[in-house]
Structure formats: C-alpha cells, structure tokens
Amino acid sequence: MGDVAEDKASFYANAEDYWREVPPTVDGMLGGYGSISNVDINGSKAFLKKFLGEGDGRTGTGCALDCGAGIGRITKRLLLPLFRTVDLVDVTKEFLDKARSYLGEDGKRVGNYFCCGLQEFVPEAGRYDVIWIQWVIGHLTDDHLVEFLRRCQRALRPNGLVVIKDNVAYEGVVPDDVDSSVCRDLDIVRRLVGRAGLRVVHEEQQQNFPKEIYQVHILALR
C-alpha cells in the first residue's frame, strides 16, 4: 500500500479509537447501512453453500472463524446456521461483550471469543473449515495481511476455505482517514493473496447493494 500506513502503530491505534466510539448495533457495524444486512447475508450464504457438504473436495461444516466479528452479525445470521461451532475474533472488547447477548441461545455453540487485532492473531492450526474475513482487510497493512493469510492457511482443515468479502476500489489504494483503513483494488487484493501462497478458487461480486458504496467482492481461497 505504499506509504499509506507508514506509521503502523498509529494506523492501528487510530482504527481502534474509531471503533471504540461506534455503537454496538447492526447499523453501527455496517456504517449506517444496516438496511443491507439481509442482502449481504443472503449473498454470502448462496456463495458459501457452493462449497459445503460431504464428498470429494467439499468443505466441512464443523468449525468456522469470524474475523473482525464485531457484535456477531455474521456469526448469528450466516455461520452458526451452517457450522456446529464458531469462534469470533475482534479487536474491540465492547463488541464481543455485546455478542454474548446478541447471539442468544445459539451463542452456546460459540467456542471462543478472541479479543485481538488480526495483525497479531494466530488461529489454531488445523481447526477451521471456513475462515470468514469480511470488511476488515482494509485495517491491515499489506505485509500484515499477507502474514495473516498465511496463518489462516495453516489453520484450515482438509478442503478448508478462507473467504474474503470486502469493498474493492476502482483503481489503486484509497485511504480512509475517518476509520484509519484502506480500500484496495481487486488486482492488488489478488496479488496479496498470491504472496500468501493461496489461490482464488471462486470469486463473485455481491449484487443489489446501494450504488453509492464501493463494489463488494467475495473471494474463496485455498
């Protein structure tokens, strides 16, 4: 990302400060676009179901990891209905505290709540069938994203998947000083995935989002 995150310490600290002030609600998690939650979840579910099941090359449904989980919106609506156990990781303790009540009865199937930035998080080797990374890669520097994806690869079970779902810029890298993040174009994301030793096995654009927001793409990696 060039010199966008030249001062890594402040890049991460400023993001933590920003999210600490965000209300622990679905609308807060989605930057005021709470109305897109259903469309988002339905698109993700249709994408994920292409891989899940039994048989040669299919991805298991034992355990998933929700990265940048916030209050657990994706865990509740997407992952817990499809997986026996889900772990959550987020840097904001208040969000994880809220997740415990937000998830309700299904929260009993949550294995772990990890309060940690992804740049430092080390997922357990061989634990996960799916690692879901949504709207959070922009909070990692290029090098930290590559290193995190390498750790994710080691954390997968046989035929496991890493899924990135995120905004993509039209060209280059676009910084956002408000929440201390960046938005990369698709070619840059693909290049970083390749540097991590992963390959894109399937890719789609999320449909029916408001036209004023960045395009959102979903990439399945192995």
Q: What is the mean pLDDT of residues 172-177?
A: 96
Distance CA 139, CA 187 (A): 18
pTM exceeding 0.75? yes
Compute how many other C-beta atoms are within 10 angstroms of the C-beta atom of residue 138: 22
Q: Is there a binding annotation on residue 134?
A: yes
CATH code where residue 11 lies: 3.40.50.150
Q: What is the pLDDT of residue 7?
A: 80
Task: Report how many domains make up the chain.
Answer: 1
Q: What is the mean pLDDT of residues 130-143?
A: 98
Domain extent, residue 144, equals 2-221
* High-pLDDT (> 70) share of the chain, %: 97
Terminal-to-terminal C-alpha distance of the chain: 23
Q: Is there a binding annotation on residue 77?
A: no
Q: Is there a binding annotation on residue 91?
A: yes
**Residues across the chain:** 222
Say if CB 114 and CB 93 are below 8 A apart: no
Q: Is there a binding annotation on residue 141?
A: no
Q: What is the pLDDT of residue 210?
A: 93
Res. 2: pLDDT tops 70: no
Spell out a b/e string for 161-196, using b for 16 or more CB atoms within 10 Å of the CB, else e.
bbbbbbbbbeeebbeeeeebbbbbbbebbbebbeeb
Q: Is there a binding annotation on residue 90?
A: yes
